[in-house]
A and B are shown apart, each in its own frame.
Chain A
Amino acid sequence: MIRADRLCKKYGSLTAVDDLSLEVSAGEVFGFLGPNGAGKTTTIKMLTGLLVPTSGRATICGIDVQENPVKAKSVLGYVPDTPDVYERLTARELLRFVADLRRMDEPKAERRMAELFDLFELTDRQDELLSGYSHGMRQKVSIAAALLDDPKVLFLDEPTVGLDPKSAKLVKDVLRSLADRGGTVFVSTHILEIAERMCDRVGIIQKGRLLAVGTVDELRQKIVPGEGGESASLEDLFLKLTGGEEYRELIMHLGEDSGPSEQER
């Protein structure tokens, strides 16, 4: 479904994504993890046809994204990291706009809109201007717009940021359900708990390079082999791979420094 073949993106001397190759199959939820500035968003943009790679190739459902971006975009859905939407449109008008861009049949568009508004509890507010929506509500509308045409592949960049726990759970269930129906979900997130619970496989990227790909169990065996490895959480694995463990020690030192002194105690 998703195939990246030696993708590379350079901005002058900076290499944002370096020789990245991966494959994600149908029916799979793939978690894409990495620290800030690791190259997650750049990778997603190249896979969705929003950015031309410096080299390499990306295909979605066998369609070359660079050669035929319009066709590729007709089978994918995309949710950006910030839900910027036309503030002077209502939620209904926005979804209608997307439906018309995608040339959806009128009855199908109406049915899907009703389903999605109902699912995201927006039915009562669908005719309000989006300028009056909270960040979380806009995020829900962005996700609804991406799901409207029942995409075969769905890309989400930090989809749960700004969502309340109930809505975040709802989004996780929706994504799982899409994958169970044979769709492919590619989700980038900072929240490791979400990735651990929801994703079938995860990929960890740092400084543009894909460090590891696999199920959480596979990563445990690869990264922390031997005894104790089975109990390592995804957070442990992530910090081990991305060099975050050194910060733990620093934080402990800071805690000691700022805590009450022996005399004060």
Chain B
Amino acid sequence: MYYVWTILKRDLRSMTSRAGGGGTKSSMLLLQWVVYLALGVAIGYGSSRLFSYVNTAFAALPGLIDGVTVNILGGSALFAIFMVLMSGLQIIYRTIYESDDIGFLLVQPVPVPAVFISKLIVSYVALLSIGAAFGIPPWIGWGLANGAGPLFYVCSVVGFLLVLLLAHGLVTLLLLAAMSRIQGRKMKQLFIVCSALVGVVFVIFTQMFSSRMSQAQDPSAMLHQISASQLAKSWFLPSTWMVNTVLSTYPRFGINGIPYALALAATSFGVAAIAYWVSGRCYLTGWASRNEEGGPRKSQAAGRVRARRGLLSGLKGTYWSVLRKDLTLLLRDPIIWYSLVVSVITLGFFIFSTVRSVSARSETAGQAMGTTVVMMASLMGSVSSAQTGGISLSREGHSFWLLRSNPTDAKALMWAKLTYALLPQLIVITLGLLAGDLFGGVKFPLWLGFLLGFSTAATLASIQILLDVTYPDFGMKVEFGSSKNARGTGKLLSSMFLSMGVAAAWMFLWQLPDMLAEEGVLWGRPVQVWLTATKALTVAVGVVMLRIVNTVGVKRITRLLNDA
């Protein structure tokens, strides 16, 4: 215990000095806390309002109120477990295997389990800080709406801590077992694949849920559907154990909470104990192999690499060689094409559910839907492009010397980077437009959709490239979609927010004529004229931005190649 406490004290000191030290790291940390706090307050307030409404509006239907209560609270606990499974895997892995100080600690006269336990506690606290923002506020909201006593709040918090401990322990066990067999880099690739699968399942689930809810004619029907859900009746789910334990403090639910409380506590502590026991056998092996590759890429793997090269082979010069290299690296960084896949799926669901609803309506509605499809496709594309366009040059990292010391043509390099930035957006926009056309309902020429989509993407990619060549950060070390330093993380985040901001600005511009028409401020011209003008403006700005990139951007990149 002495060693664990000593290590934790040091971690705590380093965290507090980071938070109070000023600079980007400190601001990012504080911003993160503020966001979590605001989120928690919003969820708690929203839940309180919802439960108060249910209590008042359906006072005559106590069965319905109870059904809604257990299902919503059970759902929130399940969501917290889901969050741990989704983001916790990486957090736990990074903390117990990749913390900078583990190597130092392991060569000190400190027992290995003490190092492991201290890192495990740090990862648990990190997960708690994220999970608590989603998992605890609904309970507080329910408590406030029902005038709950202190016992309810204590049970809720303890129950949540145990549920989180259980999920955390399970993920740790999985990691320990996997790391003793799989090398670090393969492990990270596995995370991406797992996260992708869970993410896709989540998107599909939420879209199905929202589609089901949209069929409900009024709030009462909606609540009946929630109440009828089987979520709270699944006895094997830890979320059910938590709900039944906490609600057993209310006699009106008629639940015997003791078996559930025992099951929750025994399973949580049991899994944590097993993880501790397994760590004694597997932890060092896993830690030692964290940076290793999965062995020589021979035979089949090597063949795959060569076959992929055939795609653009034979095309020489700066443009093609840089584009080919960037696409090869893109294919080996699953997080980028994963976000692309999620964007396409989300967009597909959106188009399917919204276009269907206007299919039988007028020409005007169809045209408006066409604009909406282009807008949504641009927005989704912009999110994906933040990982490519926003850091297309910075991604070169310290390997930039290879481009600098070879006869690299600055203009060709610029256009290769621009193509790379445009690609994800164009893929999403093209698929979105084709889906809109396929499902029907869009009364909008496809060529116009492509022209607008391409112009929006060109504007966005040009801004991203210009910013990146003006403020490159070759030390940001992007790996698996995130940066290892605060500056790099800030650059990635700002790139994403900027992309979404520009897409949102275009959305606003395209909606402006309709908004002005509603206000009656069109300066004597029909709304169609203004709609055409905004579309023409979109195309013009796209062309102008490409011109600017071709001059200003090329100048900047020439300088980076020859003088830095």
CB pair B325–A97 under 8 Å, yes or no, is yes
Residue A119 CB within 8 A of the other chain: no
Could you tell me the distance between the alpha carbons of A145 and B404 in the complex, rounded to whole angstroms? 13
- Chain A proximity of B241: nearest CB distance (Å): 44
* Interface hits, B293-324 → A, CB 8 Å: 293, 296-298, 301-302, 305-306, 309, 314-318, 320-322, 324
Contacts of A71 in B (CB 8 A): 407
- Chain A proximity of B192: nearest CB distance (Å): 14
Q: How many residues of A contact B (CB 8 A)?
A: 43
CB pair A90–B297 under 8 Å, yes or no, is yes
Contact with A along B195-216 (1 / 0, CB 8 A): 0000000000000000000000
- Chain A proximity of B513: nearest CB distance (Å): 47
CB pair B405–A50 under 8 Å, yes or no, is yes
Contacts of B333 in A (CB 8 A): 88
Chain B, interface residues (CB within 8 Å), range: 35 or more
Could you tell me the distance between the alpha carbons of A45 and B406 in the complex, rounded to whole angstroms? 13
Contacts of B397 in A (CB 8 A): 84
CB pair A48–B320 under 8 Å, yes or no, is no
Could you tell me the distance between the alpha carbons of A92 and B321 in the complex, rounded to whole angstroms? 14
Residue A22 CB within 8 A of the other chain: no
- Chain B proximity of A187: nearest CB distance (Å): 15
CB pair A101–B321 under 8 Å, yes or no, is yes
Residue A74 CB within 8 A of the other chain: yes
Contacts of A100 in B (CB 8 A): 315-317, 320-321, 324
- Chain A proximity of B119: nearest CB distance (Å): 24
Could you tell me the distance between the alpha carbons of A70 and B318 in the complex, rounded to whole angstroms? 11
Contacts of A77 in B (CB 8 A): 405
Residue A93 CB within 8 A of the other chain: yes
CB pair A50–B301 under 8 Å, yes or no, is no
CB pair B563–A98 under 8 Å, yes or no, is no
Contact with A along B392-415 (1 / 0, CB 8 A): 000001110111111111000000
With A70-B408, A78-B405, A127-B305 already in contact, the answer to whether A93 and B325 are too (CB < 8 A) is: yes
CB pair B407–A102 under 8 Å, yes or no, is yes
Contacts of B292 in A (CB 8 A): 132
Residue B442 CB within 8 A of the other chain: no
With A86-B329, A93-B325, A100-B324 already in contact, the answer to whether A127 and B301 are too (CB < 8 A) is: yes
- Chain A proximity of B549: nearest CB distance (Å): 20
CB pair A84–B293 under 8 Å, yes or no, is no
Partner of A97, one of B297, B321, B398: B321
CB pair B325–A89 under 8 Å, yes or no, is yes
CB pair B317–A52 under 8 Å, yes or no, is no
Residue A125 CB within 8 A of the other chain: yes
Contacts of B324 in A (CB 8 A): 97, 100
Could you tell me the distance between the alpha carbons of A179 and B199 in the complex, rounded to whole angstroms? 58
Residue B564 CB within 8 A of the other chain: yes
- Chain B proximity of A169: nearest CB distance (Å): 25
Could you tell me the distance between the alpha carbons of A127 and B564 in the complex, rounded to whole angstroms? 32
CB pair B297–A86 under 8 Å, yes or no, is no
* Interface hits, A69-117 → B, CB 8 Å: 69-71, 73-74, 76-78, 80, 82, 84-86, 88-90, 92-94, 96-98, 100-104, 106
Contacts of A66 in B (CB 8 A): 562
Contacts of B325 in A (CB 8 A): 86, 89, 93, 97
Residue B181 CB within 8 A of the other chain: no
- Chain B proximity of A185: nearest CB distance (Å): 15
Could you tell me the distance between the alpha carbons of A32 and B37 in the complex, rounded to whole angstroms? 59
Closest to B291 in A: A131
- Chain A proximity of B325: nearest CB distance (Å): 5
With A101-B321, A131-B185, A131-B293 already in contact, the answer to whether A51 and B564 are too (CB < 8 A) is: yes
Residue B332 CB within 8 A of the other chain: yes
Binding site for A on B (CB under 8 A): 185, 292-293, 296-298, 301-302, 305-306, 309, 314-318, 320-322, 324-325, 328-329, 332-333, 397-399, 401-409, 561-564
Q: Which 3 A-B pairs have the closest CB atoms?
A: A100-B321, A84-B398, A132-B293
Binding site for B on A (CB under 8 A): 48-52, 66, 69-71, 73-74, 76-78, 80, 82, 84-86, 88-90, 92-94, 96-98, 100-104, 106, 124-125, 127-129, 131-132, 145-146
